[in-house]
Amino acid sequence: KTISDVFCLRLLLSCKVGNTFLGKILPTFAPTRPEFHSFPIVKRAVCRLLAKMTVVEFFGCSFLAFGPPVAMFALTIAHDPIRIIILIAASFFWLVSLLLSSTVWLAFHPVTSRLTFGLICSVFIQEGFRYLMYKVLRKTESGLQEVTDIVRIADYRHILSYASGLGFGIISGAFSLVNILADSVGPATVGLKAGSDVFMLISAAQSLAMILLHTFWSVIFFNACDVKNYYHIGYVVASHLFVSCFTLLNASGLFGVTLSISYLVLCITGVIAFQVAGGTVASIRKFFTCK
């Protein structure tokens, strides 16, 4: 006999604990239901269905988290070698900040094992390396001017900060989500026995928010350092710390609160980044009218 995917899905959804269903409940109904006469076939069919479901979840979460950043890279970065170099350099700086954060965590772990301490240290270290990336870009502007076709590279500083922020964000999102994506392909399915069944989706959405936030933060931060706007510098550090600390609520299952706060801060930060990059209402109107 062959068991259809729809039938197997109904079998699986009738009990949240998949192993209990397959191992104990299913044989109980076998004498009364002709579809259950061949238990190994049913088990294999359900396993095949679970494999399909996990693969779909893997690609869905991957496209949710990395679809917009990859599109941004392809449309705005990939055609310019200078932007690619800056993006890779920014990714390297973030990796070094991660290494330093891990060292601090290991050094202070015997004293305090609270996750909040490590998170706060990591935020400040990342912002320190963001400032270091800013200084490196400003020091190398004269060299970049000699190898680029841009007439005055100083007039395109917001593009360089955008490329740097996107590099920060992509590598940050990759490290925060890669282990989750690796586990999402199975053999287990999150939410059948314990945990939230939307854990993968929430993680992908949060990673997307952090990628875009890092992009906007760099645009604001670099411009603030140029014009000595310490309010914007403070906003970048404070909002980064605020959003990161709010993610600790995920341990209590408050996913809706965490995502709402993250995307609210994302909208506010996006508006500020748009303004400091020279955007106006008129430019938005021209964009939508294709003028």
Could you tell me where the beta strands, DSSP code E, fall in 88-245?
Answer: none
Give how many domains the chain has, as a whole number. 1
Report CA Rg, the chain. Answer: 24
| Least confident interval from 95-99, 102-106, 286-290 | 286-290
| Least confident interval from 48-57, 118-127, 160-169, 274-283 | 48-57
Give pLDDT, residue 215.
95
Give pLDDT, residue 7.
46
Considering the domain boundaries, does residue 268 fall inside one? yes
Asked whether residue 148 carries a pLDDT value surpassing 50, the answer given is yes
Considering the domain boundaries, does residue 12 fall inside one? no
| Least confident interval from 9-13, 120-124, 200-204, 216-220 | 9-13
Give pLDDT, residue 285.
81
Tokens 């059948």, residue located: 192
What is the mean predicted confidence (pLDDT) over 151-162?
Answer: 75
What is the mean predicted confidence (pLDDT) over 38-47?
Answer: 50
Considering the domain boundaries, does residue 136 fall inside one? yes
Asked whether residue 177 carries a pLDDT value surpassing 60, the answer given is yes
Reported confidence tier of residue 88, pLDDT bands at 50, 70, 90: very high
pLDDT averaged over the chain? 78
Give pLDDT, residue 16.
41
Considering the domain boundaries, does residue 23 fall inside one? no
Asked whether residue 79 carries a pLDDT value surpassing 60, the answer given is yes
Considering the domain boundaries, does residue 217 fall inside one? yes
How far apart, in whole angstroms, are the C-alpha atoms of residue 124 and residue 126?
Answer: 5
Considering the domain boundaries, does residue 31 fall inside one? no
Asked whether residue 282 carries a pLDDT value surpassing 90, the answer given is no
How far apart, in whole angstroms, are the C-alpha atoms of residue 282 and residue 149?
Answer: 28
272, 216 contact by CB (below 8 A): yes
Reported confidence tier of residue 195, pLDDT bands at 50, 70, 90: low
26, 44 contact by CB (below 8 A): no
Q: Which domain holds residue 89?
A: 44-289
Considering the domain boundaries, does residue 128 fall inside one? yes
Considering the domain boundaries, does residue 20 fall inside one? no
